[in-house]
């Protein structure tokens, strides 16, 4: 695994980044390293992209964690907690524009300086699921409590 770019965001500290209760409206930039810029062709046709990145500030992991949006312990794989055996983060963000190797994005919940591993197009046919049951998250975060 090698970084293919760096994610820039307004979030400089873990404490302020990870407690986003719902989709952030914050803007950020994805800087794709110049040697990969040819791979961005046609990406501007997509309104949303999936970013995979390395949770570079996470150290070690526990299999039972208290996620940021609950006060109870849950199995690590039923949470999005950043400390994981393979600390890969996943965020769906809006792609605002592309200029050369810089992607302007919106809806960022990622720490500034995070190494980028991959960019994939968000394709509703693959990635958008209706009628989902969302376990403890749904119980803990009732609609009226969300932003």
Contacts of 72 (CB under 8 A, 6+ apart): 66, 136
Nearest distance in Å: CB 79, its own copies: 7
Residue placing its CB nearer to its own copies in the complex, 26 or 141: 141
> CA 33 to CA 11: how far, in whole Å?
21
> CA 79 to CA 119: how far, in whole Å?
22
Nearest distance in Å: CB 64, its own copies: 6
Q: Is 126 exposed, middle or buried (0-12, 13-18, 19+ CB in 10 A)?
A: exposed
Nearest distance in Å: CB 89, its own copies: 9
Residue placing its CB nearer to its own copies in the complex, 8 or 53: 53
Nearest distance in Å: CB 87, its own copies: 9
Contacting positions for its own copies (CB under 8 A): 1-2, 4, 22-23, 32, 36, 38-48, 50, 52, 63-64, 74-80, 84-86, 88, 90-92, 117-139, 141, 146
Three-class secondary structure of residue 17 per DSSP = helix
């Amino acid at each position: 695994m090698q970084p293919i770019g760096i994610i820039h965001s307004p979030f400089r500290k873990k404490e302020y980044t990870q407690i986003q209760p719902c989709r952030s409206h914050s803007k950020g930039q994805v800087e794709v390293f110049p040697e990969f810029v040819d791979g961005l062709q046609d990406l501007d046709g997509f309104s949303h992209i999936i970013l995979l990145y390395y949770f570079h500030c996470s150290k070690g992991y526990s299999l039972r964690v208290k996620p940021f949006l609950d006060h109870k312990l849950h199995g690590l794989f039923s949470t999005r907690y950043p400390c994981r055996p393979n600390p890969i983060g996943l965020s769906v963000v809006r792609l605002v524009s592309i200029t050369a190797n810089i992607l302007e994005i919106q809806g960022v919940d990622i720490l500034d300086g995070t190494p980028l591993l991959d960019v994939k197009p968000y394709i509703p046919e693959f990635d958008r699921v209706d009628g989902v049951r969302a376990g403890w998250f749904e119980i803990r975060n009732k609609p009226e409590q969300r932003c």
